[in-house]
Amino acid sequence: MSSPSPIPAWDVHRLPRAEGSVFLVTGGNAGIGYFVAEQLSATGATIVLGSRDTAKAEAAMASIRSRVPGARVRAVRLDLADLPSLSTVVDSLETHRLDAVVHNAGVALDDPPRRETRDGHEVMFGTNHLGHFALTARLMPLLSAAPAARIVTVGSFAAKSERLDLDDLQSQRDYRAKRSYGRSKLAQMYFGLELDRRLRTAGSSTASVVVHPGGALDSLTPSRPPVHVRRVGARLGAAPAALLVQGKHTAAWPAVRAVLDPAVRGGQLWGPRLFGLRGTPRQETVWSHLADTAIATRLWDASCDLTDLAPDPDPDPDPLHG
């Protein structure tokens, strides 16, 4: 009796093939999301860029096609800050199943004043967390129609030092831009882990994985004109930082592995190998505060109230019915 074939060691430069799969990358037109999309496109899968800016999406697709011959890439308009608009996303994807979604898009403000989405939510919490929470609810039928779909939530190393204030999720009483950003990413990570617990309870074949990219700088990121152009001076000036952090092309690796690697399991946390800031992706121990299921449950309930939606772990698998 032959033994099962061993799973090959993961190689970031030799990704497994994924022909026939469909992957959605939110914010796939720029930054880390662009490199997630570019790398996934090399597997033969169909990549859908979710972007609120049509021109930027077109530029990103042109760049990917110039680097990946035969790339199957297209775009859909996606504005996570406009919750009602998400009701049209499933139809615009023009597919009967979705093999993975990478929740990558995000807003990061450096300075006051506090801003709100058109739905009245603080813009970072509303976009980064509530937008992806609501989007997942819309996508669940398509994800459930795939044999083993992945929901990959891209958090942030900045969330490691933050804690949620469940009585002030939208920073109405005390707004500090960088802290609110970190908390919005922490909320995403709580959501990704809580979602997987609910998927497991429902007996779903869909898995939810949380990743973070470590530290990523534009100045360490290779040029992809017109999506990103790195100046020589910026590259030289950032050389010392390369000892601790990385470019956005390598910061994409944890998300790419979470989509493709059959060894990755739901409920796991993945990040860069070296100090959690740079290097090849590895599984990390779930941060102690992220393991608090009571907070995750309260955040889930609050998110349901704020969006009038909830991702259903066991929806009708046919997205055209029910």
b/e code 13-51 from CB counts within 10 Å (16+ = b): eebeebeebbbbbbbbbbbbbbbbbbbbbbbbbbbbbbb
* Contact (CB, 8 A) for 106 and 187: no
* Contact (CB, 8 A) for 171 and 125: yes
Q: Rounded to the nearest 5°, which phi and psi values hold at 171?
A: 50, 45
From the list 34, 175, 181, 190, the catalytic residue is: 181
b/e code 271-310 from CB counts within 10 Å (16+ = b): bbeeebbbbebebbeebebbebeebbeebbebbeebbebb
Taking the C-alpha atoms of residue 221 and residue 232, their distance in angstroms, rounded to an integer, is 11
293-307 vs 177-201: helix axis angle to the nearest 10?
100
Taking the C-alpha atoms of residue 138 and residue 153, their distance in angstroms, rounded to an integer, is 16
**3 state DSSP class of 224:** strand
Beta bridge partners of 24: 48, 101
Give the closest residue to 211 by CA, choosing from 289, 293, 287, 296. 287
The answer to whether 175 is a known catalytic residue is no
User: Hey, which residues are catalytic here?
Assistant: 181
